[in-house]
Amino acid sequence: MIKDIDIGKELRQKRKDKKYRLEDVSKLLGISVMYLSQIERNLRKPSDELIYKIADLYDMDVKYLLNSYNRITEEMKEELNNNKALYSTLFEVSNNDKLDDARKDEIMQEIYELYKKLAKEDE
């Protein structure tokens, strides 16, 4: 299953809330009914392009959907490509075998807290 949340179930509920049938949504998104059904059952992951379309159709936060599928926005990809310090930091923390997942999470949280503090000073 994808992540800890049941994103497929959530998407299915959004479709039903809007009174759409699988056939309706598949046509609106330009995909097959089978593919949409597989997404709703967490058997397949949508492409980034499709995630944006789904977010728009269901009035969902695209960042939430991207995160649910372990994806990042194009802006974040560009920032990682352009910012060597950010990329190196994330890479080194993520690939440090001496750190367990809990410690990696703590480090990332500390980086985030430092960012918030510095951003607030710049206001």
CA distance 15 to 76: 29
- Can you spell out the DSSP letters for 47-82? -HHHHHHHHHHHT--HHHHHHHTT---HHHHHHHHH
Distance of CA 110 to the CA centre of its chain: 22
Count other Cβ atoms within 10 Å, centred on residue 94.
11
Indicate yes or no: pTM above 0.85.
no
- Encode pLDDT of 10-30 as tens digits: 999 999 999 999 999 999 999
List alpha helices for 1-123, DSSP H.
Answer: 7-17, 22-29, 33-40, 48-58, 62-68, 74-82, 84-94, 101-121
When computed from its CA atoms, the radius of gyration of the chain, rounded to whole angstroms, is: 18
pLDDT of residue 39 exceeding 90, the answer is yes
CA distance 28 to 59: 14
- Encode pLDDT of 68-122 as tens digits: 998 988 888 899 899 999 999 999 999 999 999 999 999 999 998 998 899 888 8
pLDDT of residue 41 exceeding 70, the answer is yes
CB 40, CB 8: distance < 8 Å:
yes
CB 58, CB 15: distance < 8 Å:
yes
